[in-house]
């Protein structure tokens, strides 16, 4: 590079003597710029996400159908999980069966049966209270334990009664045999 070139390059700021009309030029630029939107990543374009979403929608529809046609408005059973329902059914079946045994027992007097059943009614009331309690706090283990022990008590009570009856029967039979 010779002196002439160097001189020009060293002093080239002289060539920057124009001032742009900023506002005017920007006014023409701005309308052509894309609008200020945050970048959206189109998730639905991903095939995996699409499939997952379809599965979720299907599950949702199935649940809705299930609730609408098979729920029968029985909100209590819907609220209790399947496992709890199974336990409940098991104990309820046991209690009903044994209560029937007591009622059918011919050895017991009417007064004895009523006395026994009044105990059962008390325990039934306690049970209903516990169920209500459980609906308001399903996660409460103490409530669940109380329900189970309520059932156990009833069963125990019935079993004891039946055992006593059977024992007296055996005694009687034995006595008869000796005779």
Partner 1 sequence: METEIRFTHRSLVERSKSGDRTAQYQLYELYVDAMYNVSMRFLGIKEDAEDIVQDSFVDAFKNLEKFKYESTFGSWLKRIVINKSINHLKVKRIPLTTIDNHEYHLTDEVEYEKVDTINMFKVKSGIEKLPVGYRQIINLYLIEGYDHNEISDVLGITISTSKSQYHRAKKKLVEIINTL
Residues that bind partner 1 (CB under 8 A): 2-5, 7-9, 11-12, 14-22, 24-26, 28-30, 32-39
**Residue (29 or 111) nearer to partner 1, CB:** 29
Rounded to whole angstroms, the Cα distance separating 93 from 112 reads 23
Write the CB contacts of 53 (distance below 8 Å, at least 6 apart in sequence): 44
If phi > 0 it is left, if psi is from -120 to 50 it is alpha, else beta; for residue 126 that is: alpha
Q: Which residue has the tokens 């080239």?
A: 12
Quick one: 12 or 45, whose CB is closer to partner 1?
12
Min dist CB 30 to partner 1, Å, is 8
Q: How far is the CB of 10 from partner 1 (least distance, A)?
A: 10
Nearer to partner 1, 1 or 48 (CB): 1
Locate 128 and state its tokens: 């209903």
CB 143 within 8 A of CB 137: yes
Question: Which residue lies nearer to partner 1 by CB, 6 or 171?
Answer: 6
Give me the least distance between CB of 42 and partner 1, in Å please: 17
């Amino acid at each position: 590079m010779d002196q002439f070139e160097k001189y020009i390059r060293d002093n080239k700021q002289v060539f920057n003597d124009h001032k742009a009309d900023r506002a005017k030029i920007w006014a023409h630029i701005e309308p052509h710029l894309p609008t200020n939107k945050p970048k959206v990543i189109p998730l639905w374009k991903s095939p995996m996400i699409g499939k997952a979403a379809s599965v979720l929608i299907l599950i949702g529809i199935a649940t809705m159908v299930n609730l609408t046609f098979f729920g029968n408005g029985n909100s209590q059973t819907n609220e209790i999980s399947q496992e709890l329902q199974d336990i409940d059914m098991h104990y309820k079946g046991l209690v009903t069966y044994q209560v029937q045994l007591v009622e059918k027992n011919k050895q017991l007097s009417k007064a004895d049966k009523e006395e026994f059943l009044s105990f059962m009614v008390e325990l039934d009331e306690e049970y209903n209270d516990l169920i209500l309690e459980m609906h308001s706090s399903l996660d409460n283990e103490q409530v669940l334990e109380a329900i189970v022990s309520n059932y156990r008590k009833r069963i125990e009570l019935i079993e004891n009664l039946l055992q006593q009856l059977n024992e007296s029967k055996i005694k009687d039979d034995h006595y008869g045999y000796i005779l």
